[in-house]
Amino acid sequence: MFNPKLKRVLIGVGGGIAAYKVCEVVSTLFKNGVEVRTILTNSAQKFVTPLTFATLSRYPAYTDENFWQPNYSRPLHIELGEWADIFVIAPLTANTLAKLAYGMADNLLTNTVLASTCPVLLAPAMNTDMWEQQAVQHNWQSLLINNRFHGIPTASGLLACDRVGAGRMAEPTEILAYIQSLLHTAGRLDLAGKRVLISGGGTREHFDPVRFIGNPSTGKMGLALAQAALHRGARVTLVHGPANWDVPLGMEAFSVVSAQQMHQAMLRHLPDADVIVMSAAVADVKPQEYNSEKLPKRSLPEALALEPVPDIVTELAERKQPHQLLIGFAAQTGDIVTPALEKLYRKQLDAIVANPVDQVDSGFGSDNNQAVLLDKQGRRIEIPPCSKLQLAHYLFDFVTA
């Protein structure tokens, strides 16, 4: 995963039913070549056993019983704190949150936090009324002021106490994405204070309620860009076409269908943006006529009359202010660089991502991608096949350098 120098993740498990979700996190990290160590609080062991995490991580899980035994050449919390590249605490309970906020250390987990200097990712989980308590929110906000701490907001839904509301811990996929980002950035928040506007996914140009002109884009690249920007501290607005994934917690998202709808949404949010990434696969044409009722097969036209849709990226470039950065995408087959360079200068972009859609496990619908990054200063960087989240980070590294 990402930075080969950063591959050691320490996971502290708090006492809550959401502890079962952390099993998937540990298992997935191990399968991806990440070294994982785990610490369980006494309360966590009421829900998941140390043996479970030891089995998944292929390494003994630590508890307070280990903390108080003099079986180590150096204090255990010092060893673990210095070992970790990333520290994850999930589920983060109200009790542990309060201890961290006030610098208290009365068990192995909290002592190790104080004995470490690496980024700490927090994934809280608790009952809605507990989460919304003024004291809990004060502790949460006071921790996040420290750039060392990175927080995943709680989700809303049905909780284990049968309450419906906020306080649900983020899903493993979202926690894993954040861990992957931290393994790349080492906690760097170089987009803090920036507003990033991203388009993603394909558009659909209907000629009746069930038929449309479209493309295979799933919006996974736009999603990855939004995640990467969010994890680097940005305030993110994502405008996306039809998608079958959930919008990550902590960002603003708008779902659209047609190119015209995407055009309107992007122009509406353009004035507030510092960085605009146009990764959506927007249709080039649309049917001239729309039928409000499904056409019978026998009534389908032999030739479909088409007309152009708005050129969104060109209009964004025309309206862009000097402080704004506009990045485009060029999905190509064959020679990907020549047409991307032509698009870069013709549409007055600051940078462009040329990515092939005719390579195996790359481009539309894939979890992975590859690209050549180009900018108007003449820089060029080739990115070999990698995850789309990794490519997103390489792009932000490129444009913020």
Residues 6+ away with beta carbon under 8 Å from 302: none
Residues 6+ away with beta carbon under 8 Å from 265: 239, 254, 256
Neighbours of 367 (CB within 10 A): 12
Neighbours of 196 (CB within 10 A): 25
The kind and range of the H/E element at 251 are none
| Sequential DSSP letters for 227-247 | HHHHHTT-EEEEEE-S-SSPP
CA–CA gap between residue 361 and residue 367 (Å, rounded): 7
Residues 6+ away with beta carbon under 8 Å from 379: 373, 398
CA–CA gap between residue 209 and residue 330 (Å, rounded): 30
Residues known to be catalytic:
161
Nearest CA among 294, 301, 288, 285 for reference residue 214: 285
The kind and range of the H/E element at 40 are strand 35-40
| Sequential DSSP letters for 255-317 | E--SHHHHHHHHHHHGGG-SEEEE--B--SEEES---SSPPPGGGS-SS--EEEPP-HHHHHH
Residues 6+ away with beta carbon under 8 Å from 354: 330, 332, 336, 337, 339, 340, 371, 372, 373, 374
CA–CA gap between residue 62 and residue 54 (Å, rounded): 9
CA–CA gap between residue 179 and residue 34 (Å, rounded): 11
Structure tokens belonging to residue 75? 């204090």
